Amino acid sequence: MKTVNLSELDFQKGDGLIPVVAQDAATGDVLMVAYANDEAVKRTLETGYAHYWSRSRQELWKKGATSGHLQKVREILVDCDQDTLLYLIDQTGPACHTGERSCFHRRLTG
């Protein structure tokens, strides 16, 4: 598999942020989508735990730092445009702030 260096990621399309999809490494379930800036990705690589950028609080945050619902990152995959990441993770507890296992627990009707 081809590798991509952190410096090759395209943060400019999203005003310095890129979407990150967090997927359970064991089940394949998509658990959440968040955003990361350059620093959040660096911290994730350094620590092995998912870090994101909070758009509402305008600050870096480690997933689970207060709740204990940590995301241990097994692997990071980069999409073909180098502007979206997929974190393959081991999730401790629920991923969603509502207490649900996944943020995707509601079906759209129409």
Query: Is there a domain that residue 87 lies in?
Result: yes
Q: What pLDDT score was predicted for residue 1?
A: 87
Domain limits at 86?
A: 14-91
Query: Is there a domain that residue 109 lies in?
Result: no
| Structural element, H or E, at residue 59 | strand 59-62
Query: Is there a domain that residue 105 lies in?
Result: no
Tokens 């598999």: give the residue.
1
Categorize the per-residue pLDDT at 77 as very low, low, confident or very high, splitting at 50, 70 and 90: very high
User: Tens digits of per-residue pLDDT, 30-75?
Assistant: 999 999 999 999 999 999 999 999 999 999 999 999 999 999 999 9
Query: Is there a domain that residue 8 lies in?
Result: no
Query: Is there a domain that residue 25 lies in?
Result: yes
84 vs 57: CA distance, rounded Å: 21
Q: What is the CATH classification number for the domain harbouring 56?
A: 3.10.20.810
Q: What pLDDT score was predicted for residue 59?
A: 96
Query: Is there a domain that residue 31 lies in?
Result: yes
Q: What is the largest CA-CA distance in the chain?
A: 44
Q: Which residues, 6+ apart, have CB-to-CB distance to 49 below 8 Å? A: 62, 63, 64, 70, 71, 72, 73
Q: How many domains does the chain have?
A: 1
Query: Is there a domain that residue 101 lies in?
Result: no
Query: Is there a domain that residue 78 lies in?
Result: yes
